[in-house]
Amino acid sequence: MAEIIVRKSGGLKGTVFTSGSKNAVLPLLAATLLTEQKCEIDSVPNLKDVKVMCELLESFGANVTEKLDENVILVEANTLKTSVAPIGPVRSMRASIVSMGPVLARTGTARIPLPGGCAIGDRPIDLHIKGFIALGADVDMIEDESGNGYVEARAEKLVGAEMYLDTPSVGATENIMMAASLAEGTTIIENPAQEPEIVDLANYLNKMGAKIKGAGTDMIKIEGVPELHGATHSVIPDRIEAGTYMLAAAITKGNILVENMLSNHVVPIIAKLRECGVVITEEDDGLRVSAENANLKSADLKTLPYPGFPTDIQPQFMAFLSIVSGSSTILETVFENRFMHINELNKMNAGIIEDGRRAIVKGGVQLKGAEVRATDLRAGAALILAGLVAEGETVISDIYHIDRGYDDIIGKLKRLGADIERID
């Protein structure tokens, strides 16, 4: 089984390039199913999840040309041969659910295996389903002969509707925006997700001929159109990958220029790092993050939907807070179970106490290398960061989670001076 080995590395220094966003590219690829014409997506990160999404598009009948070494993917979904998604890709990647809106809008029916819970929580899809029902679809839960559960939606035609999301779900907002783009009439989504990935998807859909306004605000208006056409688009930079390298500079007391990132996408990360004593300056090519001579101190934080502090940086920030002086409190409000990394960090001598959705991090410890497990993608990133400052050697297993979402993390960290290797 593949493992990552990290050793204490000193302050990381140099420049790192931010790849395209994982959470933006997955719905963009799903959106290509909305048209029979050729689509081109550029600045695509080279990730396992991207490959799984390409497999899913192919299973619906799309022609996919992956040129991941050039960061380009071409998709032509001339005709869809089925509206039933296979179990494999959906079970290995929950984001597969965002193919449901496009397939339903394009073919009038979609059947997707139930993605089920995952390490960070139950992750229900009730808001996606409510959205499809509001647009006029009939939705049923069904079981095949082998007992596999599916959600199936059918609609002779989708009709625009007004709806309110109880929680500003990223995936539900994406699914509804895509389905409503081809519905008859106007759809209004109140309390949608406002993440930059939502704005990127709306921009792409508008390039394809959709009429979407308000993405990135608390109300999105979609005027349905009869058809969409092919379009070319460049994925936005990955704000969570950029944030992870910002934390690599902070935790190792290094000095890193994070290139190709949008600083307005990481405002809470900048604010919290500055509160901890990290120096962050805007340069022409990106953000310089330096903790070289910093007297690092604790800070409390609370995860929230965008523009609040991102849950996808909470584990990495927790690793950092465990070495600064003073005690910090972290409140996780987005997912009910995103603290699996506490146990692993504590194996490395961190002093973190879990109390429901709150974690109390007693800072100022010297982390120690240990054998640990990446319990999910961001937990894996947190363990790598911890390993960079731990005495001795940290051996991380279950690294397939890390492969899902970080483009060349080993190469990028090595070029910054990290002592890290992957053993297959």
Tell which one of 20, 45, 89, 171 touches ligand EPU (CB under 6 A).
Answer: 171
Instruction: Write out the binding residues for ligand EPU, residues 93-152 only, by CB under 6 A.
Output: 95, 121, 123-128
Q: Residue 196, interface with ligand EPU (CB under 6 A)? A: no
The answer to whether 415 touches 3, Cβ cutoff 8 Å, is no
Query: 162-164 and 186-190: which strand pairing?
Result: parallel
Of 40 and 312, which has the nearer Cβ to ligand EPU? 312
- Torsion angles phi and psi, residue 186, rounded to 5: -105, 140
Of 245 and 335, which has the nearer Cβ to ligand EPU? 335
Nearest to 158 by CA among 187, 136, 177: 136
Structure-token pair, residue 267: 């405002």
d(CA 15, CA 119): 33
Q: How far is the CB of 234 from ligand EPU (least distance, A)?
A: 18
Q: Which of 39, 54, 118, 276 is catalytic?
A: 118
- Torsion angles phi and psi, residue 34, rounded to 5: -80, -10
By CB atoms closer than 10 A (0-12, 13-18, 19+), residue 119 is: middle
- Binding pattern for the stretch 15-54 against ligand EPU, x by CB under 6 A and - elsewhere: --------x--x----------------------------
Instruction: Write out the binding residues for ligand EPU, residues 389-418 only, by CB under 6 A.
Output: 405
Tell which one of 8, 239, 378, 412 touches ligand EPU (CB under 6 A).
Answer: 378
Give the C-alpha distances (Å, rounded to integers) separating 368 from 40, 296, 355, 402.
46, 19, 24, 21
Of 187 and 375, which has the nearer Cβ to ligand EPU? 375
The C-alpha angle 302, 308, 309, rounded to 5 degrees, equals 50
Query: Judged by CB under 6 A, which stretch of 75-83, 140-148, 167-175, 271-279 contacts ligand EPU?
Result: 167-175
Tell which one of 132, 204, 245, 335 touches ligand EPU (CB under 6 A).
Answer: 335
Q: Residue 312, interface with ligand EPU (CB under 6 A)? A: yes
d(CA 335, CA 409): 25
Say how many residues touch ligand EPU, by CB under 6 A: 23
Of 121 and 411, which has the nearer Cβ to ligand EPU? 121
Active site residue 118: yes
Q: How far is the CB of 415 from ligand EPU (least distance, A)?
A: 23
Q: Residue 250, interface with ligand EPU (CB under 6 A)? A: no
Structure-token pair, residue 236: 């936005």
The answer to whether 88 touches 133, Cβ cutoff 8 Å, is no
Tell which one of 96, 181, 290, 311 touches ligand EPU (CB under 6 A).
Answer: 311
Q: Residue 328, interface with ligand EPU (CB under 6 A)? A: no
d(CA 9, CA 3): 18
The answer to whether 108 touches 155, Cβ cutoff 8 Å, is yes
Of 29 and 352, which has the nearer Cβ to ligand EPU? 29
Tell which one of 85, 110, 114, 170 touches ligand EPU (CB under 6 A).
Answer: 170
d(CA 321, CA 361): 7
Nearest to 128 by CA among 97, 88, 105: 97
> What are the residue numbers of the active site?
118
Binding residues (CB under 6 A) for ligand EPU: these are 23, 26, 95, 121, 123-128, 167, 169-172, 193, 311-312, 334-335, 377-378, 405
